[in-house]
Structure 1
C-alpha cells in the first residue's frame, strides 16, 4: 500500500546521492569544532544534523527489513529527534554535549547508510520504498536549511563574528522596485496539494476556501522600510503589538531584527558583518515583529490561502540555496508579484492547523507534522537557504511566533 501521494520527481537511485552529497558540501568548510556548536536549545550542532538525517533513513527505510541490524544500537537514542513512538531520545537542548561519536565516526555512519540505501534501491523497485526514500530526502533538505540557519546563529554568538562563506558584494546600487499592491483572487478557491509530485501530509487534502477582496504587495518589505519602523519607535509602542509579542519584546530586550547591529547600519550575515543594504528584504523577524510592522504600515499579513492562490502557476525561481548567495537580494526589476519564492520565508496571518479532512501518515511517520499543529504560524515561499526542488506552492512551513533565527520576513497584504 502506498502511504504517500507522490510521484518521485527523479529516480530515487539518482536523487538520493545528489541530495546526500549537497549536505556534505554545505559542511565542507566547517571544522570539527564548528560542527559541535549548539548556540541555543532551538538549534542543533552540524554533526547532529548529519547523524540524524542518516538515522532517519536507517529507521524508516532500512528498518523495514526485520533482519536489518543498526550500525550502532546506542545511536538510535542519540539521533532520534522527536519520534516518541520509536523510542526515547537524548534531550534536544543537550545535543551540543555529544562529543562522541566523533565527526569522523558520523561521516563513516553516513557512508554506511548511503551504501546500504543505494544497494537497496538498485535491487528493489517497490513504489512504497521510493516514496519513503523521497520523504527522507525532503526531510534532509529541511535539515540542509537548518544547518545554515544554525551555524549562522552559532557564528553570531562568537565575538569574532566569523564568516561561513566569502564576503558578499556591497549594497546594491539600484533601488528596490516601488512598493505597490496587486489585487488577488476573490471568491471560492481551492488550496492544498493537487496530488501530483511529492507533498507532506500537512499540505493535504486539497479543499475549498473563501477569499475576500484583498491585495498583496508586489515585493517583500525592505530593510529601509523596516528601519523606518525601528527609528519611529516601533519597538517602544505597545499599541502596535500583540500582547504576547509585547511581553516578548520586553523580556528579551528586542530593539531591532536579530542580526542587525546596534548601529542600525550593519548586520551579521553568513559572510560576516557587512553594511546593511537598504533595498534587500528585511530578514530574521519573528511573527510578532512581522505582525507589528504590518499594523504600523496600515496593512496586515496575508493569509496562507491568499498567498497560495497568488503563487499558483508561478515558476519556482528566485534567490534560493542553489544560487549559493545565502543572503536575501533586492527586487530591482519586474512586474506583478515578485519574490514569491526565495529570499525570505513569508510570515502569514494563518495559524498552523490541519486542513479539513486531514489525516496524518500511518504509524510513526504520523509524528512528522500533525502533532505540531498548536501554537505555531505558517510561513510560505522558501528562502535564500531553501533548495529549489524542495518547494511548491502548497508547501507549509511553520514556526512558533517568537522564532527569529530562521530566514523569515514579510510581504504586506490589505483588504479591499
Structure 2
C-alpha cells in the first residue's frame, strides 16, 4: 500500500508539471476546478478521512484548509463556494505543494506505525482515497483543457513530443466499417462481482431483464459526426430532445466543443481542426468523436436511425466477440439515468456522501477515455454527468432494437 500510495500521489504532480502557477490557479467555469485546487483537495481527503480521525497526534498543516478544500462533504463542515475556487490565489502553489508533502509524510508515518485495529479501519479509506485521487487526475486534464480552450491563442497543455500523457484520442489509420453485434437477451447479472475495489454505486450486483438488441462494434467517428453536421444536424429540432434543442439554441452549439470550423479566426485553416491537449491539429475523420454532450449523442443517434445503449446493454456487451473501443478512447453516453441499484446502501460515515446524493438529474457513461487511469475502466464502472456536459472526453456508441 505504501508503494501504491506514493506512485499515485506522484502521478498527480507529473500531470501538473507542464503547468505554470498561473495555469494552475484559473477556473474557466463553475463545473471545473483549478489544478491547484485538485492537488489540495485530494490531500485534504486523506487528512480529513484518515489522519484526523485515526492518527493520534497528527497536526494539520493549516486548519483553514479544511474550509478551502472540502468539496461537498456536509458531514465535514462548511466549505468555500465551488464557483469561486479560481479566486484562491492564496494559498500559493508552493504552499499547496508543501501541504501535499505534509499529508504524505503523515500518511506514510501512519501506515508504518499504526496498530492492527487502526489499520483495519484505515485501509478501506486509504483505498478509496487513492481511487478518488485517480478520478481527479482525469479531471486535472479535462479541466485544464477547457481553461486553455478559453484562451484565444489556444495554447497546448504540452506539446505532443514532450508529453508523458497519452494523446487525447487514440486513432486508427483507416475507419473500420461499422458492424452490429447481437447482445445477450434474457436475464443478466449487472454490477461489480466482488473481486477487487469498486465504488459503492457499482453495487449491489443484481439481475436485469434485457430485450433483444444489437450494439455497434466501435465508436462513432469524427467523420461520421461531420456528416451529421453537414446534414444540418444542429439546425433540425426534430432530431433533438426538448432540453437538448433548448441547449443548442441557448448556447449556440454547432459542433463538438473543441472543434474549429474552417477559417476560424483563432487558428485559420481551410479544413476542420480540433483543439486537444497537444494544441490545435487537423481533424482526423477516423478518430472517435469526443467532447459531445448526452444531448448531442442522442441527436446523432436519432439522425443515424439508432439509439444510445442502456448501461445494462453496454455492460453485458463489454466482452462480446467483435466489440472494440470499449475503453481507452472516450467515455460512452448511455440512455440510462444515474440512480441507485436495487438494495443500494451508501458507505458509512462521511464517505457515504461520495456517490449516493448525486443520484438524480444525471446520465450514466461507461467505458473510459484515454485520460482515464488504469483500474477505472472495469465493466461495472459507472461514470455520470449532467446531460449538457461537454468538457469530458465523452463520445458515442450506437445501439438498436433487434
CA contact (8 A) 1:354 1:370 kept: yes
Pairwise CA RMSD: 1.6
Check if 1:13 corresponds to 2:12: no
1:316-355 deviations in Å (ceiling 9; x for gaps): xxxxxxxxxxxxxxxxxxx710011111000001000000
Distance of 2:193 and 2:273 partners within structure 1: 43
**Change in 2 beyond 3 A, CA 1:231/1:105:** same
> TM-score if structure 2 supplies the norm length?
0.93
* Alignment of 1:265 onto 2:272: yes
Q: Retained in 1: the 8 A contact 2:172–2:287?
A: no
Q: Using the TM superposition, give the Cα deviation of residue 237 of structure 1 relative to its aligned residue in structure 2, in angstroms.
A: 0.5
Closer, same or farther: CA 287–171 of 1 in aligned 2, 3 Å = closer
Give, in whole Å, the separation in 2 of the partners of 1:389 and 1:85: 29
Supply the distance in 1 between the matched residues of 2:294 and 2:376 (Cα, whole angstroms): 23
* Distance (Å, rounded) in 2 between the aligned partners of 1:173 and 1:407: 17
User: In the alignment, what sits opposite 2:358?
Assistant: 372
Match for residue 268 of structure 2?
none
Maintained 8 Å contact 1:85/1:364: yes
- Which of 289, 299, 309 is the aligned partner of 1:282? 289
Q: Deviations over 1:365-394 (max 9, x none)?
A: 111100000100000001010011233111
Q: What's the CA shift string for 1:107-143, capped at 9, x where partnerless?
A: 0000011111011112235233121111000000000
The separation in 2 between residues aligned to 1:171 and 1:113, in whole angstroms, is: 36
Structure 1 counterpart of 2:51:
62
The answer on 1:227 being equivalent to 2:220 is no
Partner Cα separation in structure 1 for residue 192 and residue 143 of structure 2? 29
Q: Which residue among 368, 376, 382 is the counterpart of 2:368?
A: 382
Long gaps (5+) in structure 1:
1-11, 315-334
SS across alignment from 1:105: helix
Where do 5+ consecutive residues of structure 2 fail to align?
162-166, 263-270
Q: Aligned residue for 1:184?
A: 183
Counterpart of 1:101 (choices 81, 91, 94) is 91
CA–CA distance in structure 2, aligned partners of residues 351 and 291 of structure 1: 13
User: What CA deviation, in whole Å up to 9, does each residue of 1:144-165 have, x standing for no partner?
Assistant: 0000001101111011110112
**3-state SS, counterpart of residue 219 of structure 2:** coil
Output aligned runs, 1:20-59, within 5 Å. Answer: 20-59=9-48
CA distance in 2, matches of 1:300, 1:293: 8
* Structure 1 residue 289 displacement after superposition: 0.3
What pairs with 1:4-403 in structure 2 (closer than 5 Å)?
Answer: 12-65=1-54, 67-124=57-114, 125=116, 126-167=119-160, 174-263=173-262, 265-312=272-319, 336-403=322-389
SS at match of 1:311: coil
TM-score, length-scaled by structure 1: 0.90
Match status 1:406 vs 2:384: no
Superimposed CA distance per residue, residues 73-120 of structure 1 (whole angstroms, 9 cap, x where no aligned partner): 111000000001111100001000001100000000000111110111
Question: Structure 1 residues 172 and 214 mapped into 2: Cα distance closer, same or farther (>3 Å)?
Answer: closer
4+ runs of 1 displaced by more than 4 Å?
Answer: 168-173
**Distance in structure 2 (CA, Å) of the matches to 1:288 and 1:174:** 29
Q: Take 1:260 and 1:385, find their aligned partners in 2: how far apart are those partners?
A: 19
CA–CA separation in structure 2 for the residues paired with 1:389 and 1:114:
22
Matched-pair contact (CA < 8 Å) for 2:170–2:370: no
Query: What is the alpha-carbon distance in structure 1 between the residues aligned to residue 80 and residue 281 of structure 2?
Result: 37
* Structure 1 contact 45–95 (Cα < 8 Å) conserved: yes
